[in-house]
Every structure is written in structure tokens, then in C-alpha cells.
Amino acid sequence: MRKLACTYVKIVDGFNRGLGRIIMWGIFVMAGILLWSSMSKTFFNPSLWTLEVAQFAMVAYYVLGGPYSIQMGSNVRMDLFYADWSHKKKAWFDAFTVLLLVFYIGVLIYGALNSTAYSLGYFGKNSLEFFWDLTTAFLTGGPEAATEVMGYIERSPTAWRPYLWPVKFIMLFGFFLMLLQCISELIKDIARIKGEDI
């Protein structure tokens, strides 16, 4: 069991560390988009796409960087009492708070599943069944069969009118990675409580 836990922690931490280091450069992407937005408004015709693309880039930056932030302990923490605690007491407290975070991220995943299904044209109550049908249709019949499962694709109500499912899918993927990272942190906290280190 310990070997399985160590393997899980190594894979999840490695993936989220690599993704987080790539996503860190997203700040320059956002700065470039906003710079172009300012230049186009000043010197050329204003671009319709810049504000929404900057918002989508910010969502990706924040949500996909979240697991790396959890891993590095960069989240906000009240250090008034925590800093003076022993490592074992910190591990107990962290394990408890990670369980609360797992619950919260579970709620976020549930909402993101429903929102992503809605953006793909599903207006029912069972979004997991919709995604199962969509995946099955795509694997057996290709993109044409998957299109038949989907309904009206949601678009932004702005003048540019981009599709919203890609950013909602990124949110869903990011929340899932955060959940995996929280489980990894819980495993490390349990190991610290036992006096071990992973």
C-alpha cells in the first residue's frame, strides 16, 4: 500500500509541477493580449476578441496553476498559531483542512460538470450520462456521431461570440487536477503523522 501511495504522489506531484511551471508563463500571454488590446484601441480599430481572450487566459492561469500552488503550500494560511506548532500537529491540522478542501472541490467539479454539459447543449439533470453518451458516440462513430448527441452549443453573448465549452472544460480539468493534488497532500500529511516522509 505504501508503494502505491508513493507512486500516486510521485505521478500527481510530477504532472502538476510540470504543468504549473508551464502555466506560470501565462502571465506574459495575458500581458501580451492586454498590450495588443491597448495598442489596437489607440492606433487601430479596437479588437473585439481581446477582453474575452484575456479573461479565458486568466481562467486557465488561475485554475491550471492551482494544483501547483497547493503543492508548493502557496495558499493563504493564518500563521498566527500555525508557525509555532510541531510538524506532527501541523500535519494533523493540514489533513483536516485538506478534507474540507476535497469536499469544496467536489462541489466545484459537480458544478463544472453541469456547466460544461450545458455549454455542449445538454439541458437535462444527469450530466455524467450525457458525457458517457458523448464519449461513446465519439469513439464508435467519430465527430459526426458526437455532434448528434450534442445540442445547441453555448456561445458568449458578446459581439465576438466565442464558444464557451473550451474554457468550461479547462475549468473542469483544473478542478480535477486540484482534487488529485489534494489527495496527494492528504497522503503526505498522513505519512507525516506516522513520522514518515514521502
Res 32: pLDDT: 93
Tell me the pLDDT of the chain averaged across its residues. 90
Q: Higher-confidence residue: 19 or 88?
A: 19
Nearest alpha-carbon partner for 59 in 186, 188, 162: 162
What global pTM score does this model have?
Answer: 0.88
Q: Are 71 and 181 in contact (CB under 8 A)?
A: yes
Number of Cβ within a 10 Å radius of residue 13? 19
CB 102 within 8 A of CB 178: no
Q: Write the pLDDT tens digit of every residue in 132-150.
A: 999 999 999 888 888 888 8
3-state secondary structure of 159: coil
Q: How far apart are CA 67 and CA 75, in angstroms?
A: 10
- pLDDT computed for residue 160 by the predictor: 86
Q: CB–CB of 23/67 below 8 Å?
A: no
Tell me the per-residue pLDDT of 51-82, one tens digit each, with 9 for 90 and over: 889 999 999 999 999 999 999 988 766 677 87
Predicted pLDDT at 1: 67
DSSP-derived secondary structure letter, 22: H
Q: What was the pLDDT predicted at 28?
A: 94
8 Å CB contact between 187 and 8:
yes
Q: Which comes out higher in pLDDT, residue 183 or 196?
A: 183
Four-CA torsion 8, 88, 64, 111, nearest 10 degrees: 90
> How many Å is the Cα radius of gyration of the chain?
21
How does pLDDT run across 20-47, given as a tens digit for each residue?
999 999 999 999 998 998 888 888 887 7
For helices 165-193 and 2-23, the axis angle rounded to 10 degrees is 140
Distance, in Å, from the CA atom of 53 to the CA atom of 172, rounded to the nearest integer, reads 18
Task: Give the CA-trace dihedral at 100, 102, 103, 104, to 10 degrees.
Answer: 90
Q: Residue 11: what pLDDT?
A: 95
Mean pLDDT of 112-116: 94
Q: Choose among 180, 179, 175, 183: nearest CA to 60.
A: 175
